[in-house]
Amino acid sequence: MKIVVCVKYVPDATGDRKFADDLTVDRDDVDGLLSELDEYAVEQALRIAEEADETEVTALTVGPEDAKDALRKALSMGADKAIHVEDDGLHGTDVIGTSLVLAKAIAKAGYDLVISGMASTDGAMGVVPALLAERLGVPQATLLSEVGVEGGLVTGRRDGDAASERLEARLPAVVSVTDQSGEARYPSFKGIMAAKKKPVETWDLSDLDIEAGSVGLEHAWTAVDSAADRPARTAGTVVTDEGEGGRQLAAFLAGQKFI
């Protein structure tokens, strides 16, 4: 079985994230890392691989040069090989374009199962997996908090707003997993050393037969016109409880007409 796990390289959420002059996400000033939510995807890929015979796990990223770090992390966790799609023409690509590039790369790599995180921690749209299923024409079993593969079927639990559902789909399929799916392992020292020898292929747009005019900032199907620093919430009154804290808070809420 071939598993492709999609991992994104994102600016660290605890850093001071901002927009660049062209209103794309600034990927230079804040250190990047493998999106924490994609660690869960790598983890589930590895667990599924451990349960099945002859499974190969390929980590795939679309991103700038530094995105190799995300692949290294996935490899040191235990993925077998990695593919990095990198091209100057990709800068500023929106979600529709990103899903095109990922879908072409997944098709070229070959797959029985695609596993993604629930959302990227920078864009946070949570729609790439659904778009991949649409583009690849295979079932989507997304936002799973529990996942298993057996006998050519993927099953899992999706906790929705109104109900918790058990899903079942036939492979090949696209799956995304939530942060409830199971803690991601830490790379071991052995894993880190082994990762250095694992193959990382680099593909550009021409390797994927994607015309330059279909991706990139100029060709995105959406445009950001402005990005303003939200006026930081200013700290209001802080009191120390000396036996009256609850009543003081009640007085504030009454003043604000909440009571």
Partner 1 sequence: MPEILVYVDHVDGAVRKPTLELLTLARGIGEPVAVALGDGAADTAATLAEHGATRVLVHEAPEYAAYLVVPKVDALHAAYEAISPAAVLVPSSAEGKEIAARTALRIGSGVITDAVDVAAGGSGPVAEQSAFAASYTTTSRVTRGTPVITVKPNSAAVEPAPAAGAVEALDVTFSAQATGTKVIARTPRESTGRPELTEAAIVVAGGRGTVGDFTAVEALADELGAAVGASRAAVDAGWYPHSHQVGQTGKSVSPQLYVAAGISGAVQHRAGMQTSQTIVAVNKDPEAPIFDLADFGVVGDLFDVVPQLTKEIDARKG
Ligand X SMILES: Nc1ncnc2c1ncn2[C@@H]1O[C@H](COP(=O)(O)O)[C@@H](O)[C@H]1O
Ligand Y SMILES: Cc1cc2nc3c(=O)[nH]c(=O)nc-3n(C[C@H](O)[C@H](O)[C@H](O)COP(=O)(O)OP(=O)(O)OC[C@H]3O[C@@H](n4cnc5c(N)ncnc54)[C@H](O)[C@@H]3O)c2cc1C
Asked if 69 interacts with ligand Y (CB under 6 A), we say no
Asked if 43 interacts with partner 1 (CB under 8 A), we say no
Q: Identify the residue among 11, 89, 92, 126 touching ligand X (CB under 6 A).
A: 126
Q: Taking CB within 5 to 8 Å according to partner kind, which of ligand Y, partner 1, ligand X, none is near residue 245?
A: partner 1
Asked if 107 interacts with partner 1 (CB under 8 A), we say no
Q: Identify the residue among 44, 58, 93, 140 touching partner 1 (CB under 8 A).
A: 140
Q: Identify the residue among 32, 97, 117, 187 touching ligand X (CB under 6 A).
A: 117
Which residue's CB is nearer to ligand Y, number 36 or number 134? 36
Torsion sign across C-alpha atoms 49, 50, 53, 59: positive
Asked if 146 interacts with partner 1 (CB under 8 A), we say no
Which residue's CB is nearer to partner 1, number 211 or number 241? 241
> Residue 101 and residue 53: Cα distance in Å, rounded?
29
Collapsing DSSP to helix, strand or coil, 200 comes out as strand
What is the smallest separation between the CB atom of 81 and partner 1, expressed in angstroms? 28
Name, in order, each residue with C-beta under 8 angstroms of 44's C-beta and a sequence gap of 6 or more.
115, 147, 175, 177, 181, 182
Q: Identify the residue among 123, 139, 182, 191 touching ligand X (CB under 6 A).
A: 123
Collapsing DSSP to helix, strand or coil, 242 comes out as coil
Helices 128-136 and 95-109, interaxial angle, to 10°? 50
Asked if 106 interacts with ligand X (CB under 6 A), we say no
Please give the residue whose beta carbon sits closest to ligand X in the complex: 117
> Residue 32 and residue 25: Cα distance in Å, rounded?
12
Name, in order, each residue with C-beta under 8 angstroms of 126's C-beta and a sequence gap of 6 or more.
118, 119, 143, 176
Asked if 36 interacts with ligand Y (CB under 6 A), we say yes
Nearest to 63 by CA among 162, 203, 171, 225: 203
Q: Identify the residue among 37, 77, 82, 175 touching ligand X (CB under 6 A).
A: 37
What is the token pair recorded at 47? Answer: 């667990």
> Residue 174 and residue 42: Cα distance in Å, rounded?
14
What is the smallest separation between the CB atom of 105 and ligand X, expressed in angstroms? 9
Contact 48, 42 (CB under 8 A): no
Residue ranges in contact with ligand X by CB under 6 A: 6-8, 35, 37-38, 41, 60-63, 95, 98, 102, 116-117, 119-120, 123-129
